[in-house]
Amino acid sequence: MKNLVYSLEQNGRMEKEMRTILKAARTALHSKTQKKLLWVEAINSVVFELYRVGNCPIKGQTSFELWYDKEPNIVIFKEFGSKVAVHIPKEKMRKLDAKNEDTILVRYV
């Protein structure tokens, strides 16, 4: 009997997870009409959020809860591509410069 390590039948769970991630990333890119060159950041953003709110098959908890033994802070979530203000540290400002800069969210730090 041959073991097909990379066959869809043997990697069904992983294929489903990847499909979920790609669908969410595609939705994030198209909801704000972002450029396709941001696809990596869209996927990273989706994985970041799923890690904190997605259900894990163990005990019905998230991966974050199992690892850190506490509930995740979901207040930090913002929509991919939404307008945000980024704080500029004092070291990089001149006397009359603005304290923040308007930009769009493409990654959680």
Mean pLDDT over 41-54 rounds to 85
Given a cut of 60, whether residue 1 has pLDDT beyond it is: no
Tell me the per-residue pLDDT of 68-81, one tens digit each, with 9 for 90 and over. 888 888 788 888 88
In contact, 32 and 82? CB cutoff 8 Å: yes
Mean pLDDT over 85-105 rounds to 89
Question: For residue 105, what are the contacts with CB-CB under 8 A and spacing of at least 6?
Answer: 78, 79, 80, 81, 82, 83, 84
Mean pLDDT over 57-71 rounds to 81
